[in-house]
Amino acid sequence: MPQLPYKVHELSVGQLSARSGAAVSALHFYESKGLISSTRTAGNQRRYSRDALRRVAFVRAAQRVGIPLAVIRDALAELPDERTPNRADWARLSEVWRSELDERISQLVELRDRLTDCIGCGCLSLEKCALSNPYDNLGEQGPGARRLRVDRSVRDPEGAQRRAGGEQQPGPALRDQPDEKDAQAAQDVQDVQDVQDEPYGQGCCPEER
């Protein structure tokens, strides 16, 4: 799609889809979840403010790294609705998310670096397992990969807090505990992946409603 003219301030759903790369059905899904919003024309067609492009980009990037849509929605709720969010608004959102993103980055790095090492899962399939987890002694501490922080903290948040030596806070690991919200978030992620796989324009009526 050619770049949008500078003077265009409102986008049809087709324009938003083409410029953002998200399928029309994905945009409808985002709107149903409160991630973006639109107004209606006299002909009942959706119109999105241009800053919806940034919101959609934010949603898609966050979803790609595994952040649940419910968490994304809560973050976007910090942005003003009555005007286009400015740099200061996004800076505040970034500051709120900094600790969460740093935690996820460290978890991913740990996962990457430990793939060739014993992770305390009980498989005993690597030579290092015999040294790091002889006879699966780590299994006495609880289920899961005991040497992976992401698994250990999810399954044993109190133990993770004791090791950290501070007051327990509802951080990213605690929010990842499985419950009804997480089940819904997992379904949301699958729904988004399904609709994003659709070709551009599928499900969009001629009036681009």
Q: Which of 32-36, 73-77, 178-182, 187-191 has the lowest mean pLDDT?
A: 178-182
Instruction: Tell me the average pLDDT across 19-32.
Output: 94
Rounded Cα–Cα distance for residues 101 and 96 (Å): 10
pLDDT at res. 33: 92
CA distances for 140 relative to 129, 137, 144, angstroms: 15, 6, 11
Which residue from 25, 113, 22, 92 is spatially nearest to 64, judged by alpha carbons? 22
Following DSSP, what letter does each residue of 120-143 receive, concatenated?
SSS---SHHHHHHSGGGGGGGG-S
CA distances for 150 relative to 110, 112, 129, 142, 144, angstroms: 9, 12, 19, 14, 10
CA 6 to chain CA centroid, Å, is 30
pLDDT of 174 higher than 80: no
pLDDT at res. 15: 92
Answer for the pair 92, 78: CB distance below 8 angstroms, yes or no.
yes
What is the average pLDDT score of the chain? 75
pLDDT band at 25 (very low <50, low <70, confident <90, very high): very high
pLDDT of 200 higher than 70: no
pLDDT at res. 197: 44
pLDDT of 112 higher than 90: no
**Which ranges of the chain would DSSP assign to H, the alpha helix?**
13-20, 24-32, 52-64, 69-76, 87-114, 127-132, 149-155, 157-164, 172-175, 180-196
* Angle separating helix axes 69-76 and 52-64, nearest 10 degrees: 150
pLDDT of 154 higher than 70: no
- 124: which 2 tokens? 């005993």
- Residue 134 makes CB contacts below 8 A (sequence gap 6+) with none
Highest mean pLDDT out of 3-7, 152-156, 184-188: 3-7
pLDDT at res. 191: 53
DSSP label at residue 159:
H
pLDDT at res. 39: 92
pLDDT of 30 higher than 90: yes
pLDDT at res. 150: 59
Element (H, E) at 48: strand 46-49
Rounded Cα–Cα distance for residues 173 and 177 (Å): 7
